[in-house]
Amino acid sequence: MVKRSSIIFFTCIVILLICDAASDVEHRKTYVVYMGSLPEESSYSPISHHLGMLQQVTGETDAASSLLIRSYKRSFNGFAAKLTEEQREKIARMEGVASVFPNTVLHTHTTRSWDCIGLVESVKRNVSGESDVIIGFLDTGIWPESESFTDKGFAPPPKKWKGTCAGGKNFTCNNKIIGARFYRGDSARDDVGHGSHTASIAAGNNVNGAGFYGIAEGTARGGVLSARIAVYKPCDNEGCSDAGILAAFDDAIADGVDILSLSLGGMFPPDDLYNDGGISIGSFHAMAKGILTVQSAGNEGPDPNSLTSVAPWILSVAASTTDRQIIDKLVLGNGATLVGDSVNAFDPNGTKYPLAKCKDRIYSDVCECLKSEIQGKTVLCNTRIDIKAHEAGAVGAIVKDSGVSNGPTGVTLFPYLTLSPKEYNVVASYSRSLSNPEAEIMKSESIADDNAPRVAKFSSRGPSVAVPEILKPDITAPGVNILAAYSPLASPSGHDDLDPRRVKYNIISGTSMACPHASGIAAYVKSFHPNWSPAAIKSAIMTTAKLINGPKDHFSYGLGHVNPMQAVDPGLVYDLSKQDYLELLCNLGYNTSIIKRISGDQSVTCPKSPARPLIRNTNFPSILIEEQSMKPFDVQINRIVTNVGFANSEYNVSVQSTSGVNITVEPKVLSFKSFSEKQSFVVRIVGGKLPAGSVLFASLVWSDGTHNVRSPIIVNILKSTRG
């Protein structure tokens, strides 16, 4: 049997193979055994403790060591192991065990797309402060040789850095990428492209002449050029395991990162904080150590309740469009030109291909033809593209936008585009009217989009199923068609086996791309305010956000579109401590054993009468109340703001109300005499009988003439009584 030392825990492939073999025979599954904070005693050895526990349940020394997959031993206590159901139950009853939960697979929040905006290059920067900021990325690794990550002009890592370069085979760090660890595969090298893309969005160098087949040309630039990157790789092409994610949190917190960026999450909205694949737990520990975790909201929109980023201490980021839109044109044989959506790098060079005429026979569930009828032709597809059409010989495809989101669209594997139903019908009737219809799918081009920013259809919407009383997502950031670094091992369309193209820069869409924009902004704020708490940084980014065009819907964009220039100087912040979050967990109705499990804090006690309605008093930068239908209400909400603007300042309140409620704020003026001074105020919301399911959006703004500190007020009238 394999003898383990701490080094071996990184070579998870070897261990997993051994354990998987055992699992076939004995029906073992991987469980994460979570044991809260590490004991203080210096003599405590987590690994021997964990092995001892496994020995107790298996009765064998050798077996125990082969079942242990990984020990968490740096920032919190616990381990991942292969267990039978019976062993799981035994371990769950052991002393010190806060919880045992199954290891689940999470996914990176992407699928391809374009454009890169960030802070303008000439923005005011605290260069020394910025080069001290370390962003940890939990992702698919990184391509260390990319021009986006060279370290020309970088000093050695900041002194506080306790991490290491353990990136595995043929992986070298530098003064930009200052640390690397992997929990999947044999190195931290990125063979998916996702991790290189996200890291370069937040903190990549300025790279001139980056582009993607001439569609989006220009400079690829990260938000914080001088910041450092620490790579943690719990994900690969197959997804991410929560055992790996927790291990990555454990390491990153101990290594000393400042911001954690997670462009990943579950595919289904978690119904509880402890069902989100370890992210609530890992990020709680990070928060307790002063580290803000930023996470993508999810790509499961546009339906309500589709949000997969739920932890109240996380900054959850929705995805929005930028002022550069990528379109694709279709020219029919009769000269008509239709404008569709896709990132299509293929140039037809003036060739029109025949449109397949397929009568009413169905080639597959989505494309309307038989295989023999589509070779060398362009095929019409009813709801979405089917790669099988391409494999069967179609040279192009025209897809009807079915109205539902199938996630972000991105770089195409072969020429195709999506058309609105109306335009699709134009093509369909043209095709029916002729015996030899033909069409040319043009190469994509960039145009200006005056309607930007708007929230992308695919971006997951709140309210969150797990905690509907808290407004989520928190903000929105660019996440549609972002050009950034990529891995030359992956194909730009994501179909590595069918697509021979390899690129250094790729266009991808997703809340995965929005997240690192927000992480970069958090790092930018941190570079000016190194001592701000995670909640203060969050508040600064949220209350300075710009309002979004179009109908109000805070459940799609949170407080609005990120506004980095203002975020460094918010005037006031709504701060929250670890203790406040523990109290929130009590009010959410979790018992102390669950709270210990999430927080790792074994000394937690809840106040005498915790209650869900008290959640509204948690000092968030947003205000949300839930009320019953057709029942008048009169509620008071408490908030505390901390002055981070001018020492001597006076803020006036203004309320933008909405019909159905009367909102008043007391006091109406807040006067501050010093920096860091705190002041409290009360918001009273009085409403009449409102119909079930109505959602009212109002807002309040504190202004000193220079700073405008905006909070939305949301009144959610429940559809039915919540038990």
Ligand X SMILES: *[C@@H]1O[C@H](CO)[C@@H](O)[C@H](O)[C@H]1NC(C)=O
Distance, CA of 255 to CA of 416 (rounded, Å) = 46
Q: Does 186 bind ligand X (CB under 6 A)?
A: no
Q: Which is nearer to ligand X, 28 or 233 (CB)?
A: 233
Picking from 285, 277, 238, the residue whose alpha carbon sits closest to that of residue 260 is 285
> What's the token pair of residue 204?
């990549």
Interface residues for ligand X in 131-160 (CB under 6 A)? Answer: 132, 145
Minimum CB separation of residue 199 from ligand X in Å reads 17
Whether 527 is a known active-site residue: answer: no
Catalytic residue among 71, 99, 131, 139: 139
> Strand 105-108 and strand 482-485: pairing?
unpaired
- Figure out which of the listed residues 129, 301, 478, 558 binds ligand X, where binding follows CB under 6 A: 129
Q: Does 195 bind ligand X (CB under 6 A)?
A: no
Whether 512 is a known active-site residue: answer: yes
User: Starting from the edge strand earliest in sequence, which strands make up the sheet with 314-320, in order?
Assistant: 177-182, 228-233, 134-138, 259-262, 292-296, 314-320, 475-478
Angle between helices 578-587 and 279-288 (to 10 degrees): 140
Q: Does 686 bind ligand X (CB under 6 A)?
A: yes
Q: Does 704 bind ligand X (CB under 6 A)?
A: yes
Would you say how long the chain is, in residues?
Answer: 723
Cβ contact 79:69 at 8 Å: yes
- Figure out which of the listed residues 164, 406, 703, 708 binds ligand X, where binding follows CB under 6 A: 703
Q: Does 591 bind ligand X (CB under 6 A)?
A: yes
Q: What are phi and psi of 326, to 5 degrees?
A: -105, 125
Distance, CA of 507 to CA of 527 (rounded, Å) = 29
Scanning the structure block, which residue is given the tokens 């029942």? Answer: 631
- Nearest residue to ligand X, by Cβ distance, number only: 129
Q: Does 625 bind ligand X (CB under 6 A)?
A: no
Scanning the structure block, which residue is given the tokens 């293929």? Answer: 346
Picking from 505, 499, 112, the residue whose alpha carbon sits closest to that of residue 326 is 112
User: Which 3 state secondary structure label does DSSP give 115?
Assistant: coil
Q: Lay out the site mask for ligand X across 655-674 (x = CB under 6 A, - = otherwise).
A: ------xx------------
Q: Does 349 bind ligand X (CB under 6 A)?
A: yes
Q: Does 45 bind ligand X (CB under 6 A)?
A: no
Q: Lay out the site mask for ligand X across 97-126 (x = CB under 6 A, - = otherwise).
A: -----------------------------x
Catalytic residue among 512, 556, 599, 711: 512
Q: Which stretch binds ligand X (CB under 6 A): 302-310, 452-460, 474-482, 698-706?
A: 698-706
Q: Which is nearer to ligand X, 229 or 513 (CB)?
A: 229
Minimum CB separation of residue 643 from ligand X in Å reads 14
Q: Does 192 bind ligand X (CB under 6 A)?
A: no
Q: Which is nearer to ligand X, 428 or 485 (CB)?
A: 485
Distance, CA of 706 to CA of 571 (rounded, Å) = 8
Q: Does 128 bind ligand X (CB under 6 A)?
A: yes
Picking from 2, 77, 75, the residue whose alpha carbon sits closest to that of residue 32 is 77
> Which helix (H) or strand (E) is 31 found in, with range?
strand 29-34
Distance, CA of 283 to CA of 519 (rounded, Å) = 14
Minimum CB separation of residue 145 from ligand X in Å reads 6
CA distances from 299 to 272, 374, 475, 516 (A): 19, 32, 15, 15
Minimum CB separation of residue 618 from ligand X in Å reads 21
Q: Does 429 bind ligand X (CB under 6 A)?
A: no
Catalytic residue among 194, 197, 390, 554: 194
> Strand 314-320 and strand 292-296: pairing?
parallel
Q: Lay out the site mask for ligand X across 292-331 (x = CB under 6 A, - = otherwise).
A: ----------------------------------------
Whether 194 is a known active-site residue: answer: yes
Distance, CA of 6 to CA of 575 (rounded, Å) = 38
Minimum CB separation of residue 151 from ligand X in Å reads 17
Q: How many residues bind ligand X (CB under 6 A)?
A: 24
> What's the token pair of residue 666?
């007391």
Q: Does 334 bind ligand X (CB under 6 A)?
A: no
Minimum CB separation of residue 659 from ligand X in Å reads 9
Cβ contact 326:481 at 8 Å: yes
Minimum CB separation of residue 13 from ligand X in Å reads 18
Could you tell me if residue 718 is left (phi over 0), alpha (psi between -120 and 50 degrees) or otherwise beta? beta
> What's the token pair of residue 298?
């999810």
Residues engaged in binding ligand X (CB under 6 A): 126, 128-129, 132, 145, 170, 346-349, 528, 530, 591, 593-594, 652, 661-662, 686-688, 703-705
Catalytic residues: 139, 194, 512
